[in-house]
Structure 1
Amino acid sequence: MKHTDQAPNGRNPVRTSPTAVGIVPKPNHITDGEGEFHLNAATVFIATGDAHAEASYLADYLSHAAGFPLPVHETEDASDSIVEMRIDPSDTRRGSEGYRLTVTPRRTEIVAATPAGLFHGGQTLLQLLPPTVYGASPIEPQDWTVPCVEIDDSPRFAWRGAMLDVTRHFLSVEFVKKFIDLLALHKMNVLHLHLNDDQGWRIEIKKYPKLTTIGAYRPETLVGRAMQDPSDRDFDPCQQEFDGVPHGGFYTQDEMRAIVEYARVRHVQIVPEIEMPGHAQAAVAAYPELGVSDHTEGVTCIATDVSQVWGIHPTLFNASEETFAFLQDVLTEVMEIFPSRDIHVGGDEAVKTQWRESPSIQARMRELGLEDEHALQSYFIGRMDTFLTQHGRRLIGWDEILEGGLAQNAAVMSWRGEAGGVAAAEKGHDVVMADHKHTYFDYYQSEDRSSEPLAFSNTLTLATVYHYEPIPEALAPEFAHHILGAQAQLWTEYMPDSKQVEYMALPRLAALAEVTWTDAAHKDFTDFGERLSVHFRRLDALHVNYRPTHFDERKDRV
């Protein structure tokens, strides 16, 4: 590739060498060209119709770092430096999120069938520029070069996401927006928000204010690792050590609408999760009538409070019509905030002890003609499935919702391995793969834990994430189209603040982005490591507290 010593406007250009481009995730088709494009104060963006919003977003983003405005015009300009962004609905061969990016010395062109495709093309253009474009403050010199190239690109999977647990530790609106930016940077398009659990309820529900006045706050938090599950019969909360520091918070509906809009602009959909029938302790603490009050199971001393400990809890919602009405009221308000097709209802780790030992629940099961507690959970989830379907939405839940029979319209998030995903896909249900062995980012990042912060006891290395194949070998090819994609899980028991979330997420999130975007045949772990060294400089500019990785394939496989 040829380089000149001086930019046309006399400034010294900031160059990105062809060997250091480092696009993450890796484009599926890239062809190097000759020469370079200069982006400077003379550059003009051209866009019309729906493309104008995408061009304005990209131009504004670049302007912050460049220190000068980049105008967006609707008609051709005489400038020697043009960035054209165009939607061509007839060009559908790349799907709804693909794009073509062509860089020549005087013109850069991004073409896609949809605004989402244009946005992803814009993210690639940003990565072709020096990492300093990600800085918030203007820099000198104000002339950047882009290597001439043609990129024809589209994602392998439609669902490329991450789950963020804001219940165990509450995370600010500002950080949630920053996390959305990180997803967009990596061309990931789903943020799954885990909004309630035993340790806190995090979203305002106007009909039930005590969910946040009571359910959003706990008086203190467990120190160190959870040694027992609260569902164990011999669990003794008095033997645990606590920090004595109150913790809590919640998002108002206005705040959450602002987050949804922020994500929409970046082509990230937010999938809300309201856990049921388990992980219900914060809700039951706020409204005790929702719980199982007549069980004989011995763990009762923590059931009336928002939990201060980690682990699987025994507290379940009861199965009364009043409780179903409560949950449907909650989902109604949630649907008014979140436009996503999918609404997550949890369904995992619902220990059935309270139901099994409750006379009222057993009577309810006989009334409904249900054989056992698994059938009751299936009935419970089925009621929510019918309700959501009537409102034009789709229920999605963790793979335990398969137990007792899968609801008719449900999708499954397979976390306990591949078996749940295979079973659901073979029944004709869509599946998001969330196998804990490859996607649980709350696990340690190295077997050498001496310098690592406290985490769940398992290990998930960068290499293990990168080599993940979301389509199970056991799945017959005719059902593979039901695998929508995969997502990372960031459970925050041991992530007390946003910096720790960033440390546990990255660079593993970058690896999973490549798993879900790049065709398997085009992936290469060594090449990924080389690109990651450039990518870290982008994360530095964004002030991301990623885990430093001295890349070595052999070592990272340990």
Structure 2
Amino acid sequence: MKHLLPAPKHAETGSGSAEIAPGSAVSGPAPLADAVRLALPVLDLRVLDLRPGDAAVAAVRVEEDPRLGPEAYAMTITGDGVDITAGDRAGAFYAGQTLRQLLPAEAFRSALVPGTSWTFPCGRVEDAPGFSWRGAHLDVARNFLPKREVLRMIDLMALHKLNRLHLHLADDQGWRVESRAFPLLHEVGSHRPRTITSRKGEELAFDGVPHGGYYTLADLTEIAAYARARAVTVVPEIDVPGHACAVLAAYPALASRPQERYEVLDRWGISPAILSPLPATVDLLTTVFAEIADALGDVPYFHIGGDECVLDDWAASAEISAYQASLGLESTGDLHAWFLRRLADALAERGSRTVVWDEAFVSGRLRPDTIVMPWRGEHVARRAAAAGHDVVATPVFPMYFDYAEAASPEEPAGLGDAITVADVAAFAPAPSEWPEEERARVAGVQFQLWSERIPDGRTLDYRAWPRGCAAAEVAWTGGPAGPKDFFRRLDAHLARLDAFGVDYRPLSGPRPWQRGGTGWRRHRPGAVAVHDVMRHLHELSLSADSTRPSL
């Protein structure tokens, strides 16, 4: 009970232990019993039909009690086996994950290890999440990751009780999902001929290697079903109206300057290319959103971006200016807000709640039920909460995991210096000094994995873990972790990640094969100083009409 991560609300150890042999039975309502089975794959538990007498022969017994609340559970382990009461299927799944952590680390392998004793310490656990949104953002637009990496990320989220996978499916550097209605999106927008490797002033260097890929709609259906079984909700993001080079490479008529030629961007940064806000653009996007939602199935949340928009081309277009005037809007900022509101209304008709980055809320024209992700820091988060929006805390510091984990040339290339495990563990998503009504607006917390410097699954592992362990602790418990106790539990937890096969960054620093070397993958401390970035973000947070932030 002493090494659970994230920490439960209450855990006490009794005397003795219980042994559950592989192939033992789990009984209870089928969805809950199956959730426990899925959380303990190495034990290969058998789900019994709910018949009189089943509980007497089952090693694990599950009951449902909605009074516990969503995702909550209580569990008692005695010499006779395990009794679980869960608020819902997710609660039963998390009870199973807790049971898994009470076993030896070999329980995180894919097959039985001979000689392992599958025993649990007797005791009781009572648990419920501090936040309803416990997320991980995965950018597959800048560098595409095959479906197997997405499924593996879901597995790792599940064992940490994270429940929102935010898939960033479109950006300047690539469009990553099939569209049957507008096939050029994936046929043209999903690949680029090369990728930038370094920048020295105006001089750019490229690798000359074609890059691309996309998920079919069938892939999305599979990903969503796989996630739902593991209590994870997929939150798709199509970032509009900025970050649009990949869309405009496919359909240049949707541009504010349609006479120009557009290409999928082969470098990082913010492009001035922007979608037109005219009806043709809205029609295409609502059609594509519907395709994605139909493929995913139940889509309670849909992210539409709204960030880092350069609105100069809108202001320079006579057609767009006339359209703006016809809507009775005074500025391009108002038009930006109207455009996002139009898309949010369409999503609401389908039962999806819109999510945006924080630049999108500054005009005050968003739907009241829109969720805001304030990446620019606490000041912006509090303004959004005070305006009545639910907030998911996503600040650059300490929730951007594309940043290096230490200011050292041994690190692989990262954006800035540095965001450590300790920084993440100390984060308070709902600061105690906020008024209670604003704290209540904080729905949760999410870490971001922007992929400019995440070209493959091994690098993804390195960036995500163990910082993701600290984020899971904060998200589940609802506040900062006690450093001594957390790092004691994390030390034991890393053995589980070893057994699972995670290529994480050791707390002592990168292994020899994880170092950046001497090429472009090497981190260069001071190239982007954290204090400069944070000062810039603070300035942006004080500017209520900022629609053009960049780093």
Same fold (TM over 0.5): yes
TM-aligned CA distance change 1:285 to 1:374, over 3 Å: same
Larger deviation, residues 329-338 vs 496-505? 329-338
Please state whether the residue corresponding to 2:382 is helix, strand or coil.
helix
Larger deviation, residues 155-164 vs 412-421? 412-421
TM-aligned CA distance change 1:519 to 1:486, over 3 Å: closer
TM-aligned CA distance change 1:458 to 1:362, over 3 Å: farther
TM-aligned CA distance change 1:185 to 1:41, over 3 Å: closer
1:120 to 2:84 alignment = no
State the match for 2:389 in structure 1: 429
Structure 1 residue 32: deviation in Å?
A: 1.1
Report if aligned partners of 1:191, 1:271 keep a CA contact under 8 Å in 2.
Answer: yes
Please state whether the residue corresponding to 1:318 is helix, strand or coil.
coil
Instruction: Kindly provide the amino acid, as one letter, of the partner of residue 249 in structure 1.
Output: G
Report if aligned partners of 1:43, 1:79 keep a CA contact under 8 Å in 2.
Answer: no
Separation in 2, partners of 1:474, 1:279: 36
1:335 aligned to 290, 293, 296, which one?
293
Q: Superposed, which structure 2 residues align to 1:14-163 within 5 Å?
A: 21-41=2-22, 43-58=24-39, 61-63=41-43, 70=46, 72=48, 74-75=50-51, 76=53, 82-89=59-66, 92=67, 94-163=68-137
Separation in 2, partners of 1:462, 1:496: 22
Report if aligned partners of 2:133, 2:445 keep a CA contact under 8 Å in 1.
Answer: yes
1:318 to 2:258 alignment = no
Q: Which contiguous aligned blocks of 4+ residues in structure 1 show a shift greater than 4 angstroms?
A: 77-81
Please state whether the residue corresponding to 1:546 is helix, strand or coil.
coil
For structure 2, list consecutive stretches of 5 or more residues without a partner in the other structure. Answer: 510-530, 532-551
Report if aligned partners of 1:47, 1:55 keep a CA contact under 8 Å in 2.
Answer: no
Structure 1 residue 70: deviation in Å?
A: 4.6
Instruction: Kindly provide the amino acid, as one letter, of the partner of residue 276 in structure 1.
Output: V
Separation in 2, partners of 1:165, 1:180: 14
Please state whether the residue corresponding to 1:273 is helix, strand or coil.
strand
Q: Superposed, which structure 2 residues align to 1:83-482 within 5 Å?
A: 83-89=60-66, 92=67, 94-224=68-198, 239-293=203-257, 304-338=262-296, 339-408=298-367, 409-447=369-407, 449-473=408-432, 475-482=434-441
Separation in 2, partners of 1:543, 1:42: 24
Structure 1 residue 538: deviation in Å?
A: 0.9
Instruction: Kindly provide the amino acid, as one letter, of the partner of residue 57 in structure 1.
Output: L
Report if aligned partners of 1:396, 1:411 keep a CA contact under 8 Å in 2.
Answer: yes
Separation in 2, partners of 1:182, 1:135: 13
Larger deviation, residues 191-200 vs 528-537? 528-537
Please state whether the residue corresponding to 1:191 is helix, strand or coil.
strand
Larger deviation, residues 45-54 vs 197-206? 45-54
Structure 1 residue 142: deviation in Å?
A: 4.9
Report if aligned partners of 2:21, 2:43 keep a CA contact under 8 Å in 1.
Answer: no
Instruction: Kindly provide the amino acid, as one letter, of the partner of residue 195 in structure 2.
Output: T
Structure 1 residue 173: deviation in Å?
A: 0.7
Instruction: Kindly provide the amino acid, as one letter, of the partner of residue 312 in structure 2.
Output: T
Report if aligned partners of 2:131, 2:478 keep a CA contact under 8 Å in 1.
Answer: no
- Structure number with greater Rg is 1
State the match for 1:15 in structure 2: none
Instruction: Kindly provide the amino acid, as one letter, of the partner of residue 132 in structure 1.
Output: E
Number of paired residues? 507
State the match for 1:4 in structure 2: none
Separation in 2, partners of 1:50, 1:304: 49
Q: Residue by residue, what CA displacement relative to the aligned partner does 1:188-240 show, whole Å, maximum 9, x if unpaired?
A: 1000000000000001111000001100000000013x567xxxxxxx6xx31
Larger deviation, residues 46-55 vs 271-280? 46-55
Larger deviation, residues 96-105 vs 258-267? 96-105
Separation in 1, partners of 2:508, 2:3: 16
Structure 1 residue 410: deviation in Å?
A: 1.4
Q: Residue by residue, what CA displacement relative to the aligned partner does 1:8-52 show, whole Å, maximum 9, x if unpaired?
A: xxxxxxxxxx6xx52110111011100011122573322234323
Instruction: Kindly provide the amino acid, as one letter, of the partner of residue 357 in structure 1.
Output: A
Larger deviation, residues 401-410 vs 377-386? 401-410
Structure 1 residue 145: deviation in Å?
A: 1.3
TM-aligned CA distance change 1:55 to 1:471, over 3 Å: closer
Separation in 2, partners of 1:353, 1:455: 31
Separation in 1, partners of 2:59, 2:349: 48
Report if aligned partners of 2:406, 2:417 keep a CA contact under 8 Å in 1.
Answer: no
Report if aligned partners of 1:56, 1:72 keep a CA contact under 8 Å in 2.
Answer: no
Separation in 1, partners of 2:390, 2:443: 7
Structure 1 residue 56: deviation in Å?
A: 3.5
State the match for 2:514 in structure 1: none
Larger deviation, residues 434-443 vs 388-397? 388-397
Separation in 1, partners of 2:317, 2:109: 58
Separation in 1, partners of 2:498, 2:217: 33
Report if aligned partners of 1:399, 1:415 keep a CA contact under 8 Å in 2.
Answer: yes
Structure 1 residue 495: deviation in Å?
A: 0.7
Report if aligned partners of 1:80, 1:107 keep a CA contact under 8 Å in 2.
Answer: no
Q: Residue by residue, what CA displacement relative to the aligned partner does 1:487-546 show, whole Å, maximum 9, x if unpaired?
A: 00000001111110110000000001010111548x311111111111111111111110
Separation in 2, partners of 1:71, 1:196: 41
RMSD (Å), alpha carbons: 2.1
Separation in 2, partners of 1:179, 1:519: 22
Separation in 1, partners of 2:147, 2:13: 41
Structure 1 residue 472: deviation in Å?
A: 3.5
Identity of aligned residues (%): 38
TM-aligned CA distance change 1:78 to 1:317, over 3 Å: closer
Structure 2 length as normaliser, TM-score? 0.88
Structure 1 length as normaliser, TM-score? 0.87
Instruction: Kindly provide the amino acid, as one letter, of the partner of residue 305 in structure 1.
Output: E
State the match for 1:9 in structure 2: none
Q: Residue by residue, what CA displacement relative to the aligned partner does 1:242-272 show, whole Å, maximum 9, x if unpaired?
A: 1010000000000110000000000100000
Instruction: Kindly provide the amino acid, as one letter, of the partner of residue 159 in structure 1.
Output: W
Report if aligned partners of 2:12, 2:125 keep a CA contact under 8 Å in 1.
Answer: yes
Separation in 2, partners of 1:395, 1:422: 19
Structure 1 residue 427: deviation in Å?
A: 2.2
Q: Superposed, which structure 2 residues align to 1:408-557 within 5 Å?
A: 408=367, 409-447=369-407, 449-473=408-432, 475-520=434-479, 523-550=481-508
Report if aligned partners of 1:42, 1:79 keep a CA contact under 8 Å in 2.
Answer: no
Report if aligned partners of 1:46, 1:55 keep a CA contact under 8 Å in 2.
Answer: no
